[in-house]
A = this chain, B = another copy of it.
Amino acid sequence: MTSLDLTADVVDLTRALVDLPSESGGEAAIADAVQAALAALPHLTVERVGNSVVARTALGRPRRAVIAGHLDTVPAAGNLPSRLADDRVHGLGACDMKGGVAVALRLAATVPDPALDLTYVFYECEEVVGERNGLGRIAAERPGLLEQADLAILMEPSDAGVEAGCQGILSADIVVRGERAHTARAWKGVNAAHKAARVLQRLDDHTPERVVIDGLEYREGLGAVAVRAGVAGNVVPDECVVTVNSRFAPSRSAEEAEAYVRGLFPGYEVWVTEVVPGALPGLEQVGDLVAVLGAEPRPKLGWTDVARFAALGVPALNYGPGDPSLAHTAGEYVPVAQLRECEDRLRKWLL
């Protein structure tokens, strides 16, 4: 079993984590290493759920914070092993998010007496379908491990800035129907693809809203991500399906988001296939954390696991080293300066 030295420099620890491959579904080795390293620390109680690891302090502090990061990565793309160059750690998962995991592990090991109780969560299967998500599994199987938290920090790459809340997601199929006919006698049918022009034009004309919450602007989105029509080369299609994806501000509920999309397409068949609410930024609930972390908070427009904490009633924000636009790229890296900055600022806050 690989042994992780949590007293090592954060750069060395990041590289050690990158060099422990952990594509989604293959996190056993890295979870073993993380579990063993944390179990050696007397101030932490360590639990395992699948290939996720939870470590808690129990110091009787009046407040408790969760610090969480996922252990898995997307598949390798010729970017192993790690290497250090230009003051950056390069390699699979360096940005998303072994740099953030290294920072959290360093804090777990080196801040035995924090000002608030802490729950560290290192979890599996974030990069795959939601049903496999390790954080979701802990919440479902061992909810007590996440209880009594007042706020959560998810160490997703955010360029060492604070990204607060996240937008919700809605997916729907808009089905336009017609009548089949042979194209040699097309006038005997009704071309569903032609009728879909109105749906696509309405999407093109639509101006998404901009919703300001806690001073942060959540810019919504609504658009087609797929169009499918076609029976055969000589048949007038009787169905055209326009799949739309909506990103909605965290102030809207799932029901409101659905009603909004349906309201734009009266008279059409609208089949909502997925709707996941976002997470409010909750900046007023996290106290001095944002001030200590320094940067001006930004709204998170993508969906992240902060929404899982929001669903548990825990305000959460994204804060971690690495440029989020490098996530899932073969050339991903994390700047050494951001690793150090994140570790220093969080340590300052914890003390």
| A contact set with B: CB distance below 8 Å | 167, 171, 182-187, 191, 193-201, 203-204, 208, 219, 221-237, 240, 242-243, 245, 247, 301-303
A224 / chain B contacts, CB cutoff of 8 Å = 191, 193-194, 229, 237
Contact assessment for A183 and B221 in the assembled complex, using a CB-CB cutoff below 8 Å:
yes
If A196-B227, A197-B204 touch, whether A233 touches B171 (CB-CB below 8 Å) is yes
A219 / chain B contacts, CB cutoff of 8 Å = 187
**Cα separation A42 to B219 with both chains bound (whole Å):** 86
Say how far A242's CB is from chain B's closest CB, in angstroms.
7
**Cα separation A242 to B229 with both chains bound (whole Å):** 9
A193 / chain B contacts, CB cutoff of 8 Å = 200, 203, 223-227, 242
A187 interface neighbour in B186, B196, B221, Cβ under 8 Å? B221
**Which B-chain residue is minimally distant from A224 (CB atoms)?**
B193
A183 interface neighbour in B200, B223, B235, Cβ under 8 Å? B223
Closest 5 CB pairs of A and B: A226-B230, A197-B200, A194-B204, A197-B201, A193-B224
**Which B-chain residue is minimally distant from A199 (CB atoms)?**
B197
Contact assessment for A227 and B230 in the assembled complex, using a CB-CB cutoff below 8 Å:
yes
Contact assessment for A204 and B195 in the assembled complex, using a CB-CB cutoff below 8 Å:
yes
**Cα separation A226 to B196 with both chains bound (whole Å):** 12
If A196-B200, A219-B187 touch, whether A230 touches B225 (CB-CB below 8 Å) is yes
Contact assessment for A225 and B237 in the assembled complex, using a CB-CB cutoff below 8 Å:
yes
**Cα separation A235 to B224 with both chains bound (whole Å):** 9
In addition to A194-B201, A194-B224, A226-B237, 4 A-B residue pairs with Cβ atoms within 8 Å of each other are A167-B184, A197-B204, A223-B236, A233-B243
**Cα separation A191 to B208 with both chains bound (whole Å):** 14
A240 / chain B contacts, CB cutoff of 8 Å = 227
Contact assessment for B204 and A191 in the assembled complex, using a CB-CB cutoff below 8 Å:
yes
Say how far A238's CB is from chain B's closest CB, in angstroms.
11
If A184-B301, A302-B182 touch, whether A223 touches B194 (CB-CB below 8 Å) is yes
Contact assessment for B230 and A183 in the assembled complex, using a CB-CB cutoff below 8 Å:
no
**Cα separation A227 to B301 with both chains bound (whole Å):** 30
Say how far A209's CB is from chain B's closest CB, in angstroms.
12
Say how far A228's CB is from chain B's closest CB, in angstroms.
7
**Cα separation A243 to B191 with both chains bound (whole Å):** 13
Contact assessment for A184 and B302 in the assembled complex, using a CB-CB cutoff below 8 Å:
yes
A226 / chain B contacts, CB cutoff of 8 Å = 193, 229-230, 233, 237
Q: 21 interchain pairs (CB within 8 A)?
A: A171-B233, A183-B221, A184-B221, A186-B221, A187-B219, A191-B204, A193-B223, A193-B225, A194-B201, A194-B204, A196-B227, A197-B198, A225-B235, A226-B233, A227-B227, A227-B240, A228-B228, A228-B230, A230-B243, A233-B243, A233-B245
